[in-house]
Every structure is written in structure tokens, then in C-alpha cells.
Amino acid sequence: MKSNLRIQTKGKQNIGGGDEPVSPTGQYFNSKAMSISILAVLEIEVPIDDSVVMPQLRDVFLPMNPKFSSIMVSDKKGVRQWKRVEVNLEDHVKVPSFPKRLSTTTYDDHFDEYLSKISIEPLPQDRPLWEIHIFKYSTSKAAGHCIFKLHHALGDGYSLMGALLSCVQRVDNPSLPVTFPSTRSSSQVKRNKTRDVICCLPRALSAVCRGVCDFGWSILKTTCIADDKTPIRSGNQGMSLHPCKLSTIALSLDQIKLIKAKLGTVSYPFLVFIYYVYFYLKLLCHVVIFTISTDRI
């Protein structure tokens, strides 16, 4: 089958192929009221060779999802759809330039400032909603950084991270997919599956009750009850016009495993709680991002 996807280095033109409707969630995340993007940072242990970036994007990244080579358009009835277009990779790859031979602490500051800058810049609507920023200067965390800026309309964080991880290879065996070591033995998994079958009904009823309560509470919060003012939420008007600064905190996989061992589970909301504690004790800012260090993939 002949592919509709073609890559060019200059210019943009529509190409053939059926259009895919935009999901309600995608329309919500890319509207006049809001535009939300996801920032994912890959820390590289060796200096980045940007000559391999274009072939990797062309051969691996773009064919992975048709939305990576599509823009959001509206038809005559106002229905928003994904329209396949030719991709100019040079428009999507950004390489910032800073003075050379500076200290790692200075490059740390430049990196945080650059993240803060691109986090508030909207993605252009006339080309696919993603960018890659290559930070080629050594910081205290890595020899180089690849920053993926992906619009939330392209997918949720779980699916987008899975797409990004499928673009990299394992150090010990490049032919195998990237996996994370399990902390449970096969016998424990088998016992847990048997226990889950027995506890399925109570857990299902509990989930339904929690869902009803959460739905009712969300209705009250959006209609009658205002959120409390906290150091995280000031409640002041016009906060979006204030200067933005991005802060990071790095949690290694060993630290995540330790938290999971102590609590029995770990979830993204709990990681957010950890960061809010750090955030409250250290500094006040308006945009936050997690960088989870995997040590080596």
C-alpha cells in the first residue's frame, strides 16, 4: 500500500488521505479558551549528535501516529478534523544557542529559563502540533537534553510517553523494547490475579460509589463552591499575565520504587503532592514539570 505521508524540507502543502475527526477532549485542549502542551525531557549521558535527529524523526517518529503529520482544521459545518499535511522537519526542530565554556550551574539556569520560555509559547496552528528542542550544553544532570513539546490534543501523557520511549533503544540489547524492571516475582503476580478475581465485586461497587461522589463534588465545585485559597492557588485575578518561571525536581527510579515499597502503590497525584510540598518549601511559581531520571535506558 502506498503511504500518503511524504516528508519535505521546504514549504507546506496538503496531501491526500481521509480526514480524522478530532475527539471532544482534543477540541477542548486546543480552543480559544486554552491551549495545553506536554513537555517531556530526555536526559542524554553523551553529547547529542543532531545529525541523526532528522532521520530518526522521519523514519520512526512520524510514521508512529498520523496526528504527528496532521493539523487541526474546521470543515464547512464547523466540525474540527485532523488534516494530513507534508511536514517540514526543519520547522519543528529547534536548537537554542548560548555562550560556550560556561559552568554547569550557569547552563542549569539557562536550561530552566529556556523551559519556562517555551512552556508559555503557543504552538503554531498552521503545522503539526509538536516541536523538539535540542539543548546541547552540559548541565549538572546530563550532557545534553532533548525537550519534546507535544500538544495535549495529540493524546494523553501515557500514550505520548509510550510513543517517545519507542523511539529509543536499550543499551544492553538494542533489538529489545525499552522496559522497566519489575519489583514482583511471577508467583506474586499469579497470587495477586487470583485475589483480584475474588475481590472484583466489592472493588467494582466501591469504584462506582467513588465515581458518583466525585461527579457530585465536581458539580458543586463548578457551580456553588469555590476552591480554597492556598500557597499554590492565590485566587487573584489576572494570574496568567504574571511572569512565569518553571521549576523542576528529579526523582530517580530507585526513589519511586522506595515510595512504592513503603506505600504499596504510587500514582501521579501522589507525585504531584510530593512536588507541591517541595514547591511550597522552596519557591512560588506558576508552571511545574516533573523530570523522572531513569539513570540509563
**Domain extents for the chain?**
7-165, 183-225, 230-297
Among 257, 253, 251, smallest CA distance to 183 is for 257
42-70 mean pLDDT: 88
The model's pTM is 0.68
Q: Are strands 130-135 and 37-44 parallel, antiparallel or unpaired?
A: unpaired
85-99 mean pLDDT: 93
Amino acid sitting at position 211: G
What are the grid coordinates assigned to 101, written together?
Answer: 565554556
Among 171, 41, 179, 67, smallest CA distance to 127 is for 67
Q: Is the pLDDT of residue 234 over 80?
A: no
Lowest mean pLDDT among 78-82, 115-119, 168-172, 287-291: 287-291
| Cα 163 to the center of its chain, rounded Å | 10
Residues whose CB falls within 8 Å of the CB of residue 30, separated by 6 or more in sequence, listed in order: 22, 36, 72, 129, 151, 152, 153
Assign 1 a pLDDT band (cuts: 50, 70, 90): very low
Among 297, 295, 283, 255, smallest CA distance to 116 is for 283
Q: Phi/psi zone of residue 238: left (φ > 0), alpha (ψ -120 to 50 degrees), beta? A: left
Q: What distances in angstroms separate CA 21 from CA 29, 32, 80, 268, one per listed residue?
A: 15, 18, 6, 30
Residues whose CB falls within 8 Å of the CB of residue 91, separated by 6 or more in sequence, listed in order: 127
Superfamily of domain 7-165: Chloramphenicol acetyltransferase-like domain (3.30.559.10)
SS3 call for 292:
strand
Mean pLDDT of the chain: 76
Assign 182 a pLDDT band (cuts: 50, 70, 90): low
* pLDDT for res 67: 92
Q: Is the pLDDT of residue 154 over 70?
A: yes
pLDDT tens, residue by residue, 281-297: 444 433 344 444 434 33
What backbone phi and psi angles, to 5 degrees, belong to 135? Answer: -95, 105
Q: Is the pLDDT of residue 6 over 60?
A: no
70-90 mean pLDDT: 90
Rounded Cα gap, residues 267 and 203, in angstroms: 18
